[in-house]
């Protein structure tokens, strides 16, 4: 067997150009599968980790009209414009003692213009509580975070990120300057960078944090609140989210029709994987066509090779080689040929996927099952399309084969 493989390599090497042209179909097919797979898989893995837990096992508990998830599916439903009644401090403290709850934050979110002199930015504005930065850490570049005093005394202070800073202060030097939001002055006490929080396929956006206690100055007392809880692991997100929603719902007045709810991740996952399956289907189509073409190429060249080596087969048979010996020889050659094609295809595909992920700024995911599957599949092509030529070779009559010139 090993001998057969060695001889196969020799004979493939002996016809370098012909062999590589033959392999091309298999190479292209496998490379396409691997590249597309790496990119799709990368996207959907990232999508999942972003959807579920925003990348850090955190989930939003949203105040919405009841049963929206049941009727509208994962993306539908409208957030109610009625704001929830204020959340009681005891509820928060109680939730923080639940198992698997790592942290919780209640914050406001909105988009509002901010000015400094003639410069303007349209940032994402967050009114954050003292626990927000524990859940979504920011890297401070300059200055400090908010202090307890800031929250308690309704200080008009702000943290801005580097993007907002570059828009408001093109010359730099933003710390301790005052910016204007809805006619209210806010003093910048810190500058942060959140590049690490967001993944690489979001554009960094200008972001400004204010103490949550100052939010009513801008938007009144009934502005809708966001509730985020962090679970200890991705497996417990759903459970933690549901427990939090249930606890918050306990405090709602009986006439309230809206409820705190958490997205149904299992359903989201299912929809993502349906999406994946659709892609896999298209992928399978592309792959099988090009691999079919590749396989036929292999069969063709193996038939040529059998004809060319008719005399060799005759000699071997005259010397006592049985059918299976000849069959094994040609089958090995065909499998070695397509396997080499498979390996080259896998490497090419990974290279293409890597290149795309670098240039298009997309995630790159190396899937071991996809690689080993492709390799096994390329061997299979060798067996399937090598079988007919090999059988033909093994059935040659020694007299006819020896007579062949």
Give 14 or 369: the residue with its C-beta nearer to another protein.
Answer: 14
Residues paired with 143 in a beta bridge: 190
Smallest gap from Cβ 14 to another protein, in A, equals 8
Give 10 or 372: the residue with its C-beta nearer to another protein.
Answer: 10
- CA end-to-end distance (rounded Å), the chain: 29
- Give the whole-angstrom CA distance, residue 141 versus residue 163: 12
Smallest gap from Cβ 318 to another protein, in A, equals 6
Smallest gap from Cβ 337 to another protein, in A, equals 17
- Give the whole-angstrom CA distance, residue 12 versus residue 8: 6
Residue of 259, 258, 263 lying closest to 238 (CA atoms): 263
Smallest gap from Cβ 266 to another protein, in A, equals 60
Give 321 or 356: the residue with its C-beta nearer to another protein.
Answer: 321
Smallest gap from Cβ 340 to another protein, in A, equals 19
Using a 10 angstrom Cβ sphere, with 0-12 exposed, 13-18 middle and 19 or more buried, the burial of residue 212 is buried
Give 315 or 352: the residue with its C-beta nearer to another protein.
Answer: 315
DSSP helix/strand/coil, 186: strand
DSSP helix/strand/coil, 40: helix
230's tokens = 């962090």
Give 96 or 402: the residue with its C-beta nearer to another protein.
Answer: 402
CA dihedral sign of residues 279, 284, 285, 286: positive
Q: What is the largest CA-CA distance in the chain?
A: 105
Give 361 or 397: the residue with its C-beta nearer to another protein.
Answer: 397
**Footprint of another protein on this chain (CB under 8 A)?**
10-11, 14, 311-312, 314-323, 325, 397-399, 402
Smallest gap from Cβ 403 to another protein, in A, equals 9
């Amino acid at each position: 067997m090993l001998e057969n493989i060695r001889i196969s390599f020799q004979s493939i090497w002996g016809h370098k150009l012909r062999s590589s042209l033959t392999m091309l179909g298999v190479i292209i097919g496998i490379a396409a599968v691997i590249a597309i797979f790496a990119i799709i898989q990368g996207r959907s893995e990232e999508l999942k980790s972003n959807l579920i837990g925003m990348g850090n096992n955190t989930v939003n508990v949203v105040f919405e009209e009841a049963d929206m998830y049941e009727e509208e599916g994962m993306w539908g439903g409208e957030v109610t414009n009625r704001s929830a009644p204020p959340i009681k401090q005891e509820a928060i403290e109680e939730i923080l003692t639940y198992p698997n709850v790592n942290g919780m934050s209640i914050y406001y979110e909105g988009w509002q213009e901010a000015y400094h002199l003639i410069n303007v930015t349209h940032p994402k504005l967050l009114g954050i509580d003292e626990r927000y930065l524990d859940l979504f850490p920011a890297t401070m570049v300059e200055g400090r975070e908010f202090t307890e005093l800031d929250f308690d005394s309704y200080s008009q202070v702000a943290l801005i990120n580097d993007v907002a800073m570059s828009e408001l202060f093109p010359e730099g030097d933003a710390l301790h300057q005052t910016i204007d939001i809805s006619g209210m002055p806010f003093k910048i006490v810190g500058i942060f960078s959140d590049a690490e929080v967001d993944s690489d396929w979001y554009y960094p956006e200008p972001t400004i944090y204010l103490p949550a206690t100052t939010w009513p100055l801008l938007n009144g007392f009934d502005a809708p609140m966001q509730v985020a809880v962090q679970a200890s692991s991705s497996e417990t997100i759903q459970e933690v989210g549901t427990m939090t929603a249930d606890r918050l719902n306990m405090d709602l007045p009986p006439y309230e029709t809206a409820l705190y709810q958490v997205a149904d991740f299992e359903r989201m996952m299912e929809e993502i994987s349906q999406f994946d399956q659709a892609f896999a289907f298209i992928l399978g189509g592309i792959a099988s066509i090009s691999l079919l073409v590749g396989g036929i190429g292999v069969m063709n060249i193996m038939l040529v090779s059998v004809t060319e080596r008719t005399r060799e087969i005759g000699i071997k048979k005259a010397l006592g080689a049985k059918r299976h010996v000849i069959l094994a020889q040609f089958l090995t050659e065909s499998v070695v040929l397509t396997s080499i094609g498979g390996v080259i295809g896998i490497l090419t595909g990974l290279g293409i996927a890597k290149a795309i992920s670098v240039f298009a700024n997309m995630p790159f995911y190396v899937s071991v099952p996809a690689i080993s599957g492709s390799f096994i599949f390329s061997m299979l092509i060798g067996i399937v399309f090598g079988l007919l030529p090999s059988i033909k070779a093994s059935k040659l009559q020694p007299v006819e084969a020896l007579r062949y010139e």
